[in-house]
Amino acid sequence: MSYDTNNIFAKILRGEIPCHKVYEDEHTLAFMDVMPQADGHTLVIPKAPSRNLLDADPAALGALMATVQKVARATRQAFGAEGVLIQQFNEPAAGQTVFHLHVHILPRSTGVALKPHSGKMADHALLAQHAEKIRHALEA
Ligand code: AMP
């Protein structure tokens, strides 16, 4: 399986389609998932192209996980969550639908059920508001 440069996250990285950005550095980008399974559901991607974890350059993973940790902490704080679920899918059989490596960050609290994976498109004004909350927590 090869990397398709026209996948939707590659287009986001090239600025061809918009996203609700929460964080960016030299190696990574974090933005709101448009079909969130929980309030604050964020995705972190490496800028280096890879289809998923299986074909990724190990050298890119340190920066990716450092951003995952940073954004997970901010997301937990921004949403007052008790915990944070980290998910990452590899190939369709494992639930992957977008073929550029990405890590899901899902704030969790007791008694709050997760919505379905790739379920319903969220309101963009709400996503913008959630991104702002996370950016604010990142600055704190
Ligand atoms: P998966 O490949 O199964 O790990 O999930 C891909 C995720 O990307 C799903 O949770 C989708 O809701 C999300 N998604 C798809 N298109 C976009 C987009 N344009 N911007 C942000 N998130 C997206």
Q: Is 134 contained in some domain?
A: yes
Dist. CA 140–CA 127, nearest whole Å: 20
* CATH code of 96's domain: 3.30.428.10
Pairwise CA distance, residues 17 & 25, whole Å: 19
Q: Which pLDDT does position 117 carry in this prediction?
A: 84
pLDDT tens for 60-117 read 999 999 999 999 999 999 999 999 999 999 999 999 999 999 999 999 999 999 998 8
User: Does the predicted model carry a pTM greater than 0.95?
Assistant: yes
Pocket test for ligand 1, best of 16, 17, 34, 106 (most atoms within 8 A of CB): 34
How many domains are there within the chain?
Answer: 1
Name the one residue in this structure whose structure tokens are 């986001």: 12
Residue 52, both tokens? 């998923």
Rounded Cα distance, 77 and 88, in Å: 22
Do residues 106 and 41 lie in contact, with contact meaning Cβ atoms separated by under 8 Å?
yes
Nearest of 81, 98, 78 to residue 90 by alpha carbon: 98
Write out pLDDT tens, residues 21-37.
Answer: 999 999 999 999 999 99
3 occurs within a structural domain = no
